[in-house]
Amino acid sequence: MMSRKFGTAADNIIDAKLIDANGLIHDRESMGEDLFWAIRGGGGTSFGLIISWKVKLLNIPEKVTVFNVTRTLEQNATQLVYKWQYIAHKVDDSLLLRLFLRSSQSPFRPGQRTVYAFFTTLFLGGVDELLPEMQKSFPELGLVKEDCIEMTWIKSILFFAGFPSGTPIELYMETIQPSRRKCSRITV
């Protein structure tokens, strides 16, 4: 969720210890940059046994902001999806603006289906920083403060896993699967 700002986990590996087929232990320098690239996902085979990783730690903000705004075809979802595809990769690096589409029963036309567009987002910062960015880059979504929830990053993991707001972090350590979350907001 933070890859736009910080890259993937593989991007933050700064060294590794690898045992090769001859039993020799190599670090980044002795294995060379090609093998170091390959062990981080750049190749599709086994190059040896990794016995340790050295990972660059990152400072993340004390609070992040999340939202899940849903729109239907009747609420201009088609135009929003069209706009999203042109701006999602250009917004601030601290903003991951995801889109999910689903077809389901229409609340507007009983017995008929409609398409739902779910804009599910993580912003590395507070809501007061997020709203101006959204107003500048995607005002058509109509995001308002009431759509947003500020929380710690670790609690955002629970949010995106489908757990209700306020779920204790300890639940993350359990193997219970959450029920799939329903739409958090549909504006009629």
Residue 175 has pLDDT above 70, yes or no: no
Question: Which of 44 and 134 is assigned the larger pLDDT?
Answer: 134
Q: What does the pLDDT average to over 108-115?
A: 80
pLDDT in tens, 1-18: 888 999 988 999 999 999
SS3 track for 73-85? HHHCHHHHHHHHH
Q: In the predicted model, what is the mean pLDDT of residues 31-44?
A: 88
Instruction: Give the closest residue to 66 by CA, choosing from 86, 90, 93, 94.
Output: 94
Task: Catalogue all structural domains in the chain, each as residue range(s) with its CATH number.
Answer: 3-55 (3.30.465.10), 64-173 (3.40.462.20)
Candidates 75, 92, 68; CA nearest to 2 is 92
* pLDDT-derived band at 183, boundaries 50, 70, 90: very low
Residue whose entry in the numeric block shows the structure tokens 């359990």: 174
Average pLDDT over residues 69-74: 92
For the cut 80, the answer to whether the pLDDT of residue 151 exceeds it is yes
